[in-house]
Structure 1
Amino acid sequence: MNALSPVTGETILDVENLSLEFSGSSGTVRALDDVSFSVKRGEILSLVGESGCGKSVTAMTIMGLLPRHGATLRGAVSLAGEDLLGASERRMRTIRGNRIGMIFQDPMTSLNPVHTIGMQIGETVRRHRGVSWQQAYARALDMLEFVRIPDAKNRLNAYPHELSGGMRQRVMIAIALACDPELLIADEPTTALDVTVQAQVLELIAELRAELGMSVILITHDLGVVAAHADRMLVMYAGRIVEQAPVEALFAHPAHGYTAGLLRSLPGMNARQRGALAEIPGAVPRLDKPMSGCSFAPRCAFRTDACEQPLPPPVAIGPNHTARCIHADAVYRAVADTDIVKVWS
């Protein structure tokens, strides 16, 4: 766990048995399938998985940003005990930006190109705090300084195109934090940024979490980011959470075939191999096809005929470590007895 972590035992967000289906011309698409997890106050929880696995849809569902027409949503989402799925749109407009902040993937398209930075931060403050424009601009200046933007006073009157990618992402963080939210959702916050700027943005989020004691859901496909910044990790595949554990435990001893495959694909995990990096064979299943058994089974090195049976409840592997796999113990032992490199050989 991160040494700066202010994690407490108090739960700030609860997601229980969340399922989401969309109806379209090609049939019913099950985007989320029985997703359950919680976030502690002060915790950085990372959602990991390849594109299309359901990470961003989970975030949008929590924020109440998905269109309800043509969608069937089941389960429960609560923020500090308050029901979010049953909340009216008016109530959600109060919660979004005030109690839950969100950093979207692309700061250039998320910011309004015709308004200054100060106006965009100030508008958020005015909407949720009901203060004057003078007070809102003062808060905007404080926030730009808070996210370490140099020459913050002059940046208030700048337009998004006048800032670098890293500066724009810091502005997005300033907007997300302007009303002191209890929970920050960061959806691929370093997309399209160079490596140096990525590190700066991620360090900033970690530092602000430590200073403010807020919770963070960090959505990413970068396992290096998870290892450096997260306290706990959820691995998603085809709309399901297949494994969750503290970061150190999951990296040391994965207990699901998909997690083992992800870790095996890391360059650092393949020091003994020559040539191309390892990959997980096969392709992600179509979500418009019914899946009763394990959706990862066709690609899994541990597959047996039993994997086609309905999925069992998550299996407890260790403290706060579960995997939704009938062969979880076998995966765990195989990785522990050999190494991730050999498991798929």
Structure 2
Amino acid sequence: MNAISPATGETILNVDNLSLEFFGSSGTVRALDDISFSVKRGEILSLVGESGCGKSVTAMTIMGLLPKHGARVQGTVSLAGESLLNASEKRMRSLRGNRIGMIFQDPMTSLNPVHTIGMQIGETVRRHRGVSWQRARARALEMLEFVRIPDAKNRLSAYPHELSGGMRQRVMIAMALACDPELLIADEPTTALDVTVQAQVLELIADLRAELGMSVILITHDLGVVAQHADRMLVMYAGRIVEQAPVEALFAHPAHGYTAGLLQSLPGANVHERGALAEIPGAVPRLDKPMPGCSFAPRCAFRTEACEHPLPPAVPVGPDHTARCIHTDAVYRAVAGTDIVKAWT
């Protein structure tokens, strides 16, 4: 397979004005609030933010894995021009694992403990390609070798508990890629893995993107991973996209108070005299209450009374760089030339 240049210009996934509400006994929770973004073919797009900001639920909405009752989705999600929100469950089953692959958060629990590795990968191939078990098993072996699992032939007959966490994660990647998807969603793909294995898994995803021309949505908390592997990033907070930009531009010119706070909290970026890491005070707000103004304002060092007014549209900061903040200039002036920016540029 020949390597290609990332981000060829063709849009493979388009999300436009996507909102999501869950209904429960305690009221309505607005988990996603009017988010829009696109993914180009061959691009790695990273979604970052604290737990509870909407990253994983965005992925689940794209995959059509939300419960049919108790939730309301508005907006549009399209894969190469085909609407996913309006697709039938039968159609989504044909797309999941075929044109869209997904690596779920926990490799320790995502595999079926009573089936062999070969059966689980082979079943994916049989379902979408309609081939015999013999051919499906051959494809499973090919994929295990492709993701660099040693002694791949014998691993086909192994059960998940016989593999290490890193090997199980590679099996999840092999399963997600078995049918050559156009888009891979990797939701915290290095959860519970040691640092060495994390690096190996992330390098593998980057290599496969280059070899296959595959687009990747990488969900992570680790901005170091984003800086090293992603082309563009979306910063999410309380179900909203607060900033999005090419990675280099965003790290060099953060324009939202939340982005600046995330960068400042990284080890080595800006350590206090006592050696303690900087932190963002407070917590992510409850999503079952209306938030007409900036949802980050109660925690923001740049807050003014104007932040309580209805949010303006995303403000252009630079080429392909927008931030949903009325104090973008003040944020950048405060961090320009500091250790926050120097550490990542």
Q: Which residue of 2 aligns with 1:210?
A: 210
Contact 2:99 2:183 in 1 (8 A): yes
Report matched runs for 1:229-268 at 5 Å: 229-268=229-268
Gaps of 5+ in 1: none
Contact 2:102 2:185 in 1 (8 A): yes
Q: Which residue of 2 aligns with 1:72?
A: 72
Change (3 A) 1:190 1:337: closer
**Amino acid of the residue matched to residue 194 of structure 2?**
D
Report matched runs for 1:302-321 at 5 Å: 302-321=302-321
How far apart are 1:270 and its partner, in Å? 1.5
Change (3 A) 1:4 1:277: farther
Deviations 1:194-217 (A, max 9, x none): 010000000000000010010000
Q: Which residue of 2 aligns with 1:133?
A: 133
Q: Which residue of 2 aligns with 1:21?
A: 21
Report matched runs for 1:115-154 at 5 Å: 115-154=115-154
Give the Cα–Cα distance (whole angstroms) in 1 for the partners of residues 176 and 326 of structure 2. 40
Q: Secondary structure of 2:102's match? A: strand
Give the Cα–Cα distance (whole angstroms) in 2 for the partners of residues 278 and 308 of structure 1. 25
Deviations 1:131-186 (A, max 9, x none): 00000000000000000001110000000000000000000000000000000000
How far apart are 1:337 and its partner, in Å? 5.6
Deviations 1:107-146 (A, max 9, x none): 1211000000000000000000000000000000000000
Q: Which residue of 1 aligns with 2:222?
A: 222
How far apart are 1:4 and its partner, in Å? 7.6
TM-score, normalised with respect to structure 1: 0.96
Count of aligned residue pairs for this structure pair: 340
Give the Cα–Cα distance (whole angstroms) in 2 for the partners of residues 300 and 220 of structure 1. 22
Q: Secondary structure of 1:20's match? A: strand
Change (3 A) 1:335 1:113: same
Report matched runs for 1:118-197 at 5 Å: 118-197=118-197
Give the Cα–Cα distance (whole angstroms) in 2 for the partners of residues 111 and 338 of structure 1. 45
Give the Cα–Cα distance (whole angstroms) in 2 for the partners of residues 321 and 43 of structure 1. 16
Q: Secondary structure of 1:144's match? A: helix
**Amino acid of the residue matched to residue 195 of structure 1?**
V
Give the Cα–Cα distance (whole angstroms) in 2 for the partners of residues 107 and 7 of structure 1. 28
Give the Cα–Cα distance (whole angstroms) in 2 for the partners of residues 196 and 283 of structure 1. 31
Give the Cα–Cα distance (whole angstroms) in 1 for the partners of residues 201 and 338 of structure 2. 36
TM-score, normalised with respect to structure 2: 0.96
The alignment status of 1:198 with 2:180, answered yes or no, reads no
How far apart are 1:268 and its partner, in Å? 1.7
Gaps of 5+ in 2: none
**Amino acid of the residue matched to residue 301 of structure 2?**
A
How far apart are 1:71 and its partner, in Å? 0.7
Q: Which residue of 2 aligns with 1:275?
A: 275
